[in-house]
């Protein structure tokens, strides 16, 4: 079945540095990918929708200059958290829409970001 590989699974970084998270669709092409943020014991909050070859669409309240999204190919989308602060510590999850299936979303396994 469709697989989305997300890594790193865990990352610890210092305040002020940037962190890049990758999301790859392994056996299908994903024209659209979604990035979510999940706080402990809370739901997934959609941050942005990325479309291959175009600018990402950010949800209201999400700083696009802080959370840089690049979707340069049909199998790769990246989320870069710039100038990270402790409040950016969270669980980030990507999801890819499988254009080859009737209607499928496949989720990555998530990245636990801790900013110290």
Partner 1 sequence: AQSVSQHNHHVILSEAASLELGCNYSYGGTVNLFWYVQYPGQHLQLLLKYFSGDPLVKGIKGFEAEFIKSKFSFNLRKPSVQWSDTAEYFCAVNAGSRGGKLIFGQGTELSVKP
The correct pick among 58, 95, 113, 115 for binding partner 1 (CB under 8 A) is: 95
Q: Which of residues 1-30 bind partner 1 (CB under 8 A)?
A: none
Measure the CA–CA gap between 10 and 71, rounded to whole angstroms. Answer: 21
Helix (H, G, I), strand (E, B) or coil at 53: coil
- 8 preceded by a cis bond (ω within 30 of 0): yes
In whole angstroms, how close is the CB of 107 to partner 1 at the nearest point?
A: 4
The reply on whether position 115 binds partner 1 by CB under 8 A is no
The reply on whether position 96 binds partner 1 by CB under 8 A is no
Closer Cβ to partner 1, 45 or 82, answer by number: 45
The reply on whether position 58 binds partner 1 by CB under 8 A is no
Task: Indicate left, alpha or beta for 61 from its phi (over 0: left) and psi (-120 to 50: alpha).
Answer: left
Measure the CA–CA gap between 38 and 43, rounded to whole angstroms. Answer: 6
The reply on whether position 80 binds partner 1 by CB under 8 A is no
Does residue 95 contact residue 108 with C-beta atoms inside 8 Å? yes
In whole angstroms, how close is the CB of 16 to partner 1 at the nearest point?
A: 30
What residues make contact with partner 1 under the rule CB under 8 A?
Answer: 32, 34, 36, 41-46, 49, 93, 95, 97, 103-105, 107-110
């Amino acid at each position: 079945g469709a697989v989305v590989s997300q890594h790193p699974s865990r990352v610890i970084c210092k305040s002020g540095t940037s962190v890049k998270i990758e999301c790859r669709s392994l056996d299908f092409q994903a024209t659209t990918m979604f990035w979510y943020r999940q706080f402990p014991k809370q739901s997934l909050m959609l941050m942005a929708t990325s479309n291959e070859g175009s600018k990402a669409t950010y949800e209201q309240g999400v700083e696009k200059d802080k959370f840089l999204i690049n979707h340069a190919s049909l199998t790769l989308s990246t989320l870069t958290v710039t100038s990270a602060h402790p409040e950016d510590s969270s669980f980030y999850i990507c999801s890819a829409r499988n254009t080859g299936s009737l209607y499928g979303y496949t989720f990555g396994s998530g990245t636990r970001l801790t900013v110290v």
